[in-house]
Amino acid sequence: MRRNLRIPSLLLASVVAAVAAEPAFAHHVMGGKMPATFGQGLLSGLGHPVIGLDHFAAVVAIGCLASLHAAGVRLALGYVLAMMAGVAVHLMGATLPGAELWVALSVIALGAVLMTRRAMSAAAALALFAAVGLLHGYALGESIYGAEQTPLVAYLIGLAVIQGAIAVAAMSVARLLMRRMAEAAPLRLIGAGISGIGLAVFVQQIVPAV
């Protein structure tokens, strides 16, 4: 058992180190350029939450937390809908100072909740997912703000598809781990890694300002 736990621990540590080492890699699918075509918008939507490890970690955490509920798929999709609403709020011109800091803090919080593995009602989980989804959606909307309608629609399609796929996949893997190992250790390890990613991103955000 110790050997099994040591391997994911090393993997999680490697992910955190990668985040700390590559701050510029986090949020630029098109090299920082605004998508101009349907294909570029779709690729940007599909890639943005994957190369942005803070957003990726949040979706994985959502899937893992959703795995603890019978209505896990609906909860995960609720996050995706809230995330899309957050993008819409940004596109309508709303401003949230320090959005990336709040995103990092939300990742830390999701990891902490996963580490505790406390019983949470479906309603409470949905409220948490909605709040985090709105926040991450707002941040994700930055890369498409000001785009034409065609790449914008494609971006939203790609974003919804990839977020939903990651969340459901993470939920399925988490349930498989819990059935096979019959204990909470795997989810706690994943939660620790997710909080570590959030902390690394948070440090990246505040160091330049110091």
The 3-class secondary structure across 41-80, one letter per residue, is: HHHHHHHHHHHCHHHHHHHHHHHHHHCCCCCHHHHHHHHH
Mean pLDDT over 33-53 rounds to: 86
207 versus 172: the higher-pLDDT residue is 172
Q: Are 160 and 44 in contact (CB under 8 A)?
A: no
Closest CA to 74 of 23, 126, 26, 124: 126
Report pLDDT for 32. 63
Report pLDDT for 163. 94
CA 83, 86, 91, 95 torsion-angle sign: negative
Residue with token string 């406390």: 118
Question: Coil, strand or helix: which one is 119?
Answer: coil
Mean pLDDT over 3-10 rounds to: 43
pLDDT of 132 over the 90 cut: yes
Mean pLDDT over 40-52 rounds to: 86
pLDDT of 90 over the 90 cut: yes
Give the C-alpha separation, 30 to 48, whole Å.
9
For the chain, first and last CA: distance in Å? 43
Mean pLDDT over 15-28 rounds to: 44
Count Cα neighbours of 17 within 13 Å in the Cβ-side half-sphere.
6
Report pLDDT for 74. 95
Q: Are 119 and 167 in contact (CB under 8 A)?
A: no
Token pair in block for residue 108 = 């830390």
Q: Which helix (H) or strand (E) holds 104?
A: helix 99-116
When pLDDT is cut at 50, 70 and 90, the band that residue 80 belongs to is very high
Closest CA to 127 of 191, 163, 82, 63: 82
Q: Are 45 and 154 in contact (CB under 8 A)?
A: yes
Helix 149-181 and helix 53-66: axis angle, to 10°? 50
Residue 168, Cβ density class (10 Å: 0-12 exposed, 13-18 middle, ≥19 buried): buried
Q: Are 34 and 147 in contact (CB under 8 A)?
A: yes
